[in-house]
A and B are shown apart, each in its own frame.
Chain A
C-alpha cells in the first residue's frame, strides 16, 4: 500500500527531526556544570524503626504524611501504620490477597489497593462508625493493577498490565480518561507536584509523560534496555527519574526532552525495583533485587551510601513528604524506617 509506505517514511523522518532537535540544545555536558558543586560525602542512614506485622512479602508502601503510611502484603492485608510509635492504626483484610500496589490519599481519608484481581479497591478510613469499609471497586482494566495514585479525594490514576493508565472518578466509579499508548505492561506511575501531568513507566522500555486534562501523551523517553519498574518526579517537577531491570536509573529532563544522567555501577547487576528522591532532590534512594538500597548523588551520579538490613529483595521505598525519613519494604515481610 503506497500510503502506508509513505506514512512509515514520514514517521522515520519525524524521528530524525526529533533527534536533531534534542541534539541542537546540547550546549553543555552535565559533568562540566556540576564539577563545581559541593560534594555530598558519605551518607549513612540507620534503621530507626522496624515495623513487624505482615506475614508475607510486602509489595508496596506509600506515605500519607510524616508519620502515617500504608503497606500492602500478599498475606492479604493492608496495614496503616503510625510508624513513629510502630502501632497499627488499621489492619484491613483484602478480598484478594494478590495485591501489588497501595496508595494513601493526600487528605488522609482514603487508601487504595489493587493487584491481580484487575480492580482498584478504595477504602474509606474515616467512616462514621470507625470501621474501614470498601468505598468503591474500580473495575474495567483487563490486566493486573501495577500502581495507583490519588490526585484528590475524587480522582485516582491507575496503571495496569493491559498497557493503559486510567483516570477514574471515584464517586461514580467510572473511567474519565484512558491513557493508551504504551506497548508493554505499565509498571508504575508518578504524579507531578502540580497535579497537571503524570508519568508512567512500562515494559516497552519507555516512560511517557501524560497531560491529565486532555489525555495526550506529551513526551516519550527511551534509552533503557529493559522493563522500567519504578518512576518518580524530581521534586521541582522538571525531571523524571526511572529505575529499570537493566540495573540502571536514568534522569530525563522534561524541558529539553532528553536523558541527562544515568546512575549505574559495574558492581550492580540486579534490577531496580523502586526509587524515591529526597526532599531536595540531591539524593536518590533506589531499592534493588540484591536486598540493598543504594543512595545516589543525583547531580554527580555517584553512589554515596547503602542501606542494608533486609533479608530479601527490597520491593518498595518511599520518602516522607517532609523529607525526614525513608521507609523500605521488603519480601522479608518487614518495613524499616531509616534516617
Chain B
C-alpha cells in the first residue's frame, strides 16, 4: 500500500488506516475455509459465480465477531458503502439487504486503498465506454460530468476514446458471465467514487458521522486483535532471565572482557581481534552466532560463513535474496524501482538463475505489488525466506562441521595485564552489595570469584 504524503486533509490518512483494517476483514471473509460460503447465483438468465447473499454476510459477521444482528448489519453496510462488496441486483442502491439478494466481493484492483483518489482520466474512459456501447445510456448527471470532462481534458480526448474502444473490444471476447461481472465491478467502483448528486458520499471528509463510523469499526477490530495476542507472564519473564544469563559473558560492564577492556588498560587488542576482517574470530563471537538467527546475520563475518555453508547446500540464493531485500528496505528511495526490478529478474522470474522458493500465495501477492514498487513491497517474500532459513538452514548450520571447526579454531584471547602498575585489574563483583547481608549473597559472590580464577588459569595454560 502506498503511503500518501501529508495533504491538507489529515483525515484522509486516518481513513487509510481504517481502510487497511477493513481490507483485512474482507480478506478473511474470502478465506476458502473460514470465510463466507460462495456459490453461483442466478441473475436473470445468466449464472454468476462466487456470489453470496446478504443474509450470508450478516451471519458470518455475527459468528466471527460475536456481535448482535444490528451491529453486523451496520458493519456490513459500511463494507458496501466503501465499495468492498457490491450488490448484483440493484447496483445503484448501495445498501446491504438481509435476504437472498446476491452480492459479490469487489476485486482488490478497485479497492479504496489502491485506487484512490479516482483519476479523472479513468472516469472519462468509463463514461466514454458507456456512451459508445449504447447511445443515450448515460444518465443525466453522468452526461453533465461527461461534457465537463470533455472540456477539461480535451487535449487527451483522442486517447480517452481510443482506450474506451479498445477496452470494449477486449471485453467482447469474454464470456457473458465474466462480462457482466466486470461491468458490475466497474460500475460499483464508480458509484462509490463518483456518486450521483443527492446520495450520501461515503468518502466525504466532512460529516462527523463518517469519521465516527470508521472509528467505531476501528475500535472493534482493535479488541479482536488484542484479545488474541497476549502472552502469559511466566513465558515473558523466563525469556528475560534467559536473555540476561545468556548475554552476561558478553557484557563487558558486568563481566569484563578478554584480553582486556581498552578503556582501562589502554590496550586496543580487543577491538583489533573483533573487527570485521580478522582471520580467526574469538570464541565468544562464534558462540554468539548460536544465540539467534539475527545475531548471525548482524555480524558480517557470520553472514559470510553462513553463505559458504549455504553454497554447499545449493541454497545460497536465499541469503542473497534476503540481503537484496534489506538493501531495498534501507536504501535510497529513488533507486527502489530499479532495485526491485533487479530482484525480480534475478530471484522471482520463473526460470531465473537464482530463483527462490516462495509459496504461490506470497508469490502472487508480491508480483501484484511489483506493479507499484515501494519500500516494503518485498517484505512478505523476504519474511518467508527469512523463516525458511531460520527454521531449516540455520539449525543445520549450527550442527555442521563448518561451524564446529570454526568454533574449535576460534581463539580465547589471553588476558593482558597492565605491566606499568603493580596492582592487577580490580576483580568485579568481589563484594556483595551492602544492602544484601544474607549468607546466600556472600556464597554467590565467592562462587563467582572462583569461576573467574578458573577461566584465567585456563587461558594461561592454553598458550
Give the interface of A toward B (CB within 8 A). Answer: 3-4, 7, 10-11, 14, 17-18, 21-22, 24-28, 30, 33-34, 37-43, 45, 48-49, 66-67, 84, 140, 151-155, 169, 171-172, 174-178, 180, 193-195, 213-216, 234-236, 238-239, 253, 255-258, 260, 278-283, 298-299, 302-304, 319, 322-326, 337, 339
Contacts and interface: CB of A to CB of B under 8 A. Distances in A.
B244 A280 contact: yes
A302 B435 contact: yes
Contacts of A169: 333
Nearest to B334: A171
Contact of B251 (A22, A48, A279): A279
Contact of B5 (A37, A174, A280): A174
Interface stretch (B150-158, B169-177, B235-243, B342-350): B235-243
Main secondary structure of the interface of A (DSSP, over half): loop
Nearest to A339: B263
B222 A236 contact: no
Contacts of B212: 3-4, 7
B246 to A, nearest CB: 8
Given A27-B233, A28-B234, A41 B431 contact: yes
B60 to A, nearest CB: 22
B333 A283 contact: no
A283 B251 CA distance: 10
Question: Of residues B1, B231, B270, B441, which shows the largest number of chain A Cβ atoms within 10 Å of its Cβ?
Answer: B231
Contact of A215 (B17, B223, B432, B448): B17
B15 to A, nearest CB: 13
Contacts of A323: 250-253
A48 B253 CA distance: 13
28 contacts: A17-B226, A18-B226, A22-B230, A37-B244, A39-B432, A39-B445, A42-B429, A42-B434, A45-B253, A153-B330, A155-B330, A214-B20, A215-B3, A255-B231, A256-B230, A256-B231, A256-B233, A257-B230, A280-B248, A280-B250, A322-B252, A324-B253, A324-B257, A324-B262, A325-B253, A326-B253, A339-B263, A339-B264
Contact of A39 (B10, B241, B436): B436
B323 to A, nearest CB: 14
A279 B330 CA distance: 25
Nearest to B256: A339
Contacts, number: 212
B391 interface: no
B245 to A, nearest CB: 8
A213 B376 contact: yes
Contacts of A11: 219
Nearest to B252: A324
A42 B252 contact: no
A40 B230 contact: no
